[in-house]
Structure 1
Amino acid sequence: MRRGRAAGMAGLACAVLALSVTGPAAAADQVKLGDVQQAIENVAKTDGVVGAIGQVYVDGKQVGQGTAGSRLIGGKGGRIPPDSRYRIASQTKLMEATIVLQLVKEGKLGLEDKLSAVLPDMAKYDYVDRADEITVQQLIRHTSGIPDFIESGKFDVFDFTTAYKPIDLVKAARTVPRKGEPGEYLYSTTNYVLLGMIIEKLTGHDRATEFKRRLFTPLGMKHTYLATKVSDQIKGPHGHGYYPDAKGRPRDVDRLNATIGAEGAISTAHDVSAFYRALNQGKLLPPDLQPPRPRPSLCGGTVAAAAGGMPGINSVTFSSTDGRVQFAVAATLKIDNEQAMAVGDAINAAAEAVLCPGQ
């Protein structure tokens, strides 16, 4: 994941693992799990990790948890509470796509609607190249060809004072040369900035209100909220992440400028598990309206994982395709996310050890 000094987010990552259950109606105590604490300790031993937490839920009940490393850099601050909040980064995109698809279900929007029709200013003022060709579905699937605003180089991880509007990010993306055609996959957070603008236009509410009204409140996600401020800190005890400054020194990024990007959800293992449980069990959308998700393919193909990364954090939620089982993991970092490939591998290995013991 490219960062430089930009405050972008990682793409929705794919990792798929299997789950051992005795049958579709197996009770929680019949689910075979590995040692969660040991798995999290292995994650925390990975170079670049400050601390790590993880919890396993079966049918909404917590059946295992672990914490290792430290809350602050240098082994300080004690361990991170396993139920603490953390930034879920690009996992926010899946929530946003769900809300957009709910608007489609309600007849307020069409998947084939053109961006120029939904947000006329994008074409009128040439804010988005070829806005009259790009569809809502292409925005959701990252196939619009719109460049990522992060590549403009206009945004700084350590800028805690400048408040940006969504249109500012869109304009920045317009300065980046197009790298793909409409219909071709090109991961770009600008797509989700535009989808957020569509949500606000069609509902008359800001994104935070719609996330709360449509997802957080009905799913009982009482500890989840959407960060929206220029200098937004996580509420309550939690692990701190760090990011190298221009001289390579790790600086605390507990504060992040939430106006840069479209991925501001802050959640807990319990709450994010509730979202994936509801999504996979069809409680949020009908079968013909589902957001793009990683395809389960390993260890029997029964569990998929969505991951997100941003300065100081790597978070992954593994969820069974039937929505019964979730394993939510978060690792705070002290390195550039581009150097954190080993962390992702360690989290995947932890999930395999927990969800696929003996395989």
Structure 2
Amino acid sequence: MTALTPPPASAAPHPAPIQQSLNALVKSDGFPAALAAVQDREGHTRNYTAGVADLTTKAKVPTDGQVRIGSNTKTFTAVVVLQLVSEGKVSLDAMIDTYLPGLVRGEGIDGSHITVRELLQQTSGLPSYTNDEDLEPRYYEPRDLLDRALKHKADFAPGEKWGYSNTNYVVAGLIVQKVTGRPLAAEIDQRIIKKIGLRHTYFPAPGDPTIREPHPKGYSQDAPGGPLGDITEMDPSWAWAAGQLISTNSDLNRFFSALLGGRLLAAPQLKEMQKTVPAAAPFGPNTRYGLGLLSTPLSCGGVYWGHGGSFPGYETRGGATDEGRAVNVAVTLQPTDPAAMKRVDALVDKALCSAG
């Protein structure tokens, strides 16, 4: 009986380009895990994973596992504000003091001269409370976060230029609560999460440091090549309206697709959201910022709309196109080398350009 000849190594099936890129993020850039969800124009999704969910046990990365999505939360908060605009309860060009009289005051800071639009567009000049070195991962009330910001002088005069500040979205969240009389978390849950069926997205309850569903652990690293520490569990209230949500890549794809598809906002409010100004750090040179929404050029032409998020232990990048394609990528380490995140951005571009 003749022995079967094994096929040449070159005949072995090669991973898809997206899988190869995820593998490279783990192998070359040192991310413990990398996850991606790619949605085509027809709404079909394919999920990818690489690495391990837990560096100690080497557990497998859960498909479409939950992660802390950081500043993607800003887009959710902005959508709620814009829904209130469409209901006539908030005006984009009204001053903060219309809703929070006398609350926002500091050196060069006056809520009677800052509009709701400037909050959402990051052109208010409010300093970011997250610049405080003594900010700890413990429970904070939203007013505590605002008070931290107001100890510092304004970064610039309202409308003078663009500057990224988490404080803008804390104030926006406080406006939502004042106008609706309900917690921001309840408004996001009712108006977005339940409305479009985001089954794996939630706003953690006060004092809850856990991630409910299967998830890869998040890690920290103080310096390149240094040891990785598990920081999966922490109280996320310090991020609140600017970054507290937990979700999955496929839920983020569903969210951004629904937003661009007109399922969350009326056409006039979506148009306002997509009026952009040039953005600077921490975004790319050609990125523009709307009302809690970023536009990023694609190498294959056109742009995609999303936000991205940074939260200790996790980074998420992605968005959707007007044609229905959507991609989100998550990694389980905030890298010390900025070039690593550029390769994550390049993967989002590659996946969106190749999605059918």
- TM-score, normalisation: structure 1: 0.81
1:301 aligns with 2:283: no
The equivalent of 1:325 in structure 2 is: 325
Shift of 1:357: 4.6
The equivalent of 1:134 in structure 2 is: 114
The equivalent of 2:134 in structure 1 is: 154
Shift of 1:101: 0.5
1:145 aligns with 2:133: no
SS at match of 1:213: helix
Asked if 2 retains the 8 angstrom alpha-carbon contact of 1:51 and 1:68, the reply is: yes
Asked if 1 retains the 8 angstrom alpha-carbon contact of 2:328 and 2:348, the reply is: no
How many residue pairs end up in the alignment? 314
Q: Distance in 2 between matches of 1:103 and 1:180?
A: 28
Q: Distance in 2 between matches of 1:166 and 1:90?
A: 16
Q: Distance in 1 between matches of 2:343 and 2:222?
A: 25
Q: Distance in 2 between matches of 1:167 and 1:135?
A: 19
1:58 aligns with 2:36: no
Shift of 1:220: 0.7
The equivalent of 2:73 in structure 1 is: 92
1:95-144 per-residue CA deviation (whole Å, 9 max, x = no partner) reads 11011010011000111111122101415x75992111011111101111
Which of these residues, 197, 201, 210, is aligned with residue 233 of structure 1? Answer: 210
The equivalent of 2:101 in structure 1 is: 120
Shift of 1:260: 0.4
1:167 aligns with 2:143: yes
1:182 aligns with 2:158: yes
Which of these residues, 327, 344, 347, is aligned with residue 347 of structure 1? Answer: 344
1:296-336 per-residue CA deviation (whole Å, 9 max, x = no partner) reads 423211434421111111101231123x1111111001xx5
The equivalent of 1:264 in structure 2 is: 244
Which of these residues, 64, 78, 88, is aligned with residue 59 of structure 2? Answer: 78
The equivalent of 1:38 in structure 2 is: 20
The aligned amino acid for 1:172 is R
Q: Give unmatched runs, 5+ long, in structure 1.
A: 1-33
SS at match of 1:190: helix
Q: Distance in 2 between matches of 1:251 and 1:315?
A: 19
Q: Distance in 1 between matches of 2:307 and 2:37?
A: 15
Could you say if the C-alpha distance between residues 121 and 144 of structure 1 is closer, same or farther in structure 2, counting changes exceeding 3 Å? same
1:326-354 per-residue CA deviation (whole Å, 9 max, x = no partner) reads 11111001xx55x2422322212223333
Structure 1 vs Structure 2: percent identity of aligned residues? 31
Q: Distance in 1 between matches of 2:115 and 2:77?
A: 16
Asked if 1 retains the 8 angstrom alpha-carbon contact of 2:256 and 2:306, the reply is: no
Q: Distance in 2 between matches of 1:194 and 1:46?
A: 40
**Where do 1:211-290 residues align within 5 Å?**
211-244=188-221, 249-262=227-240, 263-290=243-270
Asked if 1 retains the 8 angstrom alpha-carbon contact of 2:61 and 2:215, the reply is: yes
Asked if 1 retains the 8 angstrom alpha-carbon contact of 2:109 and 2:153, the reply is: no
Q: Distance in 2 between matches of 1:64 and 1:258?
A: 29
Asked if 1 retains the 8 angstrom alpha-carbon contact of 2:68 and 2:244, the reply is: yes
The aligned amino acid for 1:68 is A
Q: Which has the higher contact order (CA 8 A, sep 6+)?
A: 1
The aligned amino acid for 1:99 is V
Could you say if the C-alpha distance between residues 224 and 346 of structure 1 is closer, same or farther in structure 2, counting changes exceeding 3 Å? same
Q: Distance in 2 between matches of 1:81 and 1:40?
A: 14
Q: Distance in 1 between matches of 2:92 and 2:312?
A: 32
Asked if 2 retains the 8 angstrom alpha-carbon contact of 1:42 and 1:346, the reply is: no
Asked if 2 retains the 8 angstrom alpha-carbon contact of 1:149 and 1:169, the reply is: yes
